[in-house]
Amino acid sequence: MTDTAADQHARLRVGVIGLGWAGQQHLEAYQNIPGVEVIAIAGMEADLLAQLQTEHEVPHAFARWEDLVELEGLDAISVAVPTFLHAPISIAALNRGLHVLCEKPIARNADEAQQMVDAARSAGRVLDIAFNHRRRGDIQSLKQIIDNGDLGRPYYAKASWLRRAGIPTLGSWFTNREMAGGGPLADIGVHVLDYALHLLGEPKVLSVSASAYSELGPKGRGGDQRYTATGGAHKFEVEDFASAFIRFEGGGTLVLEAGWAVFRETEDLLDFTVYGTDGGAELRAVGASNTPVAELRVFADKDGRNADYTPKALPGLAHQAVANDFIEAVRGGSSVWGAHDGSLALTRALIIDACYQSAAEYREVSL
């Protein structure tokens, strides 16, 4: 892949590092894009590696990610591994001249995220982060409504992703602070933060005031019953619920909640509510990511009378849309690569870091 603008259907050879659910989403998405060939996969699960190589007819399979990154002929890779590996793999790949699509969160903290962004800028390559929930059809519909000015000026919003018993795996890397960087705020809360800021037009964050709790996970509650907090390789060292009060330049506010385990309704909830000067809106996906289209309502009036309505929304393309956008950016050439340097995800990391600092120090933190 040269630095000049590439043909829209230029053949691209990609690799996928990580064999879990996310990695398989990337693998399948690439194979749906004309002119893209997955030529290598890497993962430590030998049986699954062999199975996926056979099923998807991938020429090369590696146990070590280092070997995949060194493979000649690659144009780009996906990084779909535990968070502590995001920075080292992405930076190594960028330094090799490869374009990188990395799973969220961008890294364990903003310092690592900055190193990744610096590497992308230095290499002159694309670094995209997989924020698939902003690609939901209902969120896209609401985004158009807000951008059209139908709600006036949004001044207050609240958004959450809440589970009753959804700690990914008690005792796994997810619950180890050194490996994960944090609990639900970093894991699913970063999705909520991303789509909320996206919907609100990327307002500048001035300060955060956050709280984090770890009440169920350390007792072996809130996850799969086959596991306990001490039954795996790692102790439960992260929060299981967090909330944040986020102030924007100009006076706007966002209240964010992210919970792996709280006593609430059984079904997960992913939602967003916004109040504007000329209207409001509410989006509720009961069942969260398993609900293709959320309940979406817009609250308005016309000539002093109720004019509420329910917009139409279609299911989004999720990881397929993420992969499509990544490949489009890569094919766009150096004239567009600079706009895809991971800096948007860096802003999310800076806010998440400030939230954790606020929760630890029991005070508001300015950005």
Domain shared by 171 and 117, yes or no? no
Domain shared by 165 and 121, yes or no? no
Structural domain total, the chain? 2
Long-range contacts of 91-94 (CB under 8 A, 24+ apart): 91/115, 91/116, 91/119, 92/66, 93/69, 94/119, 94/120, 94/122, 94/123, 94/125, 94/127
Domain shared by 226 and 308, yes or no? yes
Residue 7 forms part of a structural domain: no
Helix ranges (H only) for 31-103 are 46-55, 65-69, 86-95
Domain shared by 245 and 97, yes or no? no
Domain shared by 157 and 279, yes or no? yes
Domain shared by 108 and 17, yes or no? yes
Domain shared by 77 and 156, yes or no? no
Residue 303 forms part of a structural domain: yes
Residue 57 forms part of a structural domain: yes
What's the angle, vertex CA 257, arms to CA 220 and CA 230, rounded to 5? 15
For residue 117, the domain's CATH number is 3.40.50.720
Residue 362 forms part of a structural domain: no
Domain shared by 147 and 203, yes or no? yes
Task: Single out the residue in 273, 302, 317 at which a domain terminates.
Answer: 317
Contact between residue 104 and residue 79 where contact means Cβ atoms under 8 Å apart: no
Residue 83 forms part of a structural domain: yes
Strands (E), 137-291: 154-162, 205-213, 241-248, 253-259, 269-276, 280-286
Edge-first strand order for the sheet with 12-17 is 60-62, 36-42, 12-17, 76-79, 99-103, 127-130
Contact between residue 324 and residue 33 where contact means Cβ atoms under 8 Å apart: yes
Domain that holds residue 247: 134-317
* CA–CA separation, 95 and 125 (whole Å): 9
Domain shared by 183 and 267, yes or no? yes
Domain shared by 162 and 283, yes or no? yes
Tens-digit pLDDT profile for the chain (367 aa)?
Answer: 555 444 556 799 999 999 999 999 999 999 999 999 999 999 999 999 999 999 999 999 999 999 999 999 999 999 999 999 999 999 999 999 999 999 999 999 999 999 999 999 999 999 999 999 999 999 999 999 999 999 999 999 999 999 999 999 888 899 999 999 999 999 999 999 999 999 999 999 999 999 999 999 999 899 855 434 444 567 899 999 999 999 999 999 999 999 999 999 999 999 999 999 999 999 999 999 999 999 999 999 999 899 999 999 999 999 999 999 999 999 999 999 999 999 999 999 999 999 999 999 999 999 9
Residue 6 forms part of a structural domain: no
Domain shared by 119 and 230, yes or no? no
Residue 185 forms part of a structural domain: yes
Domain shared by 303 and 167, yes or no? yes
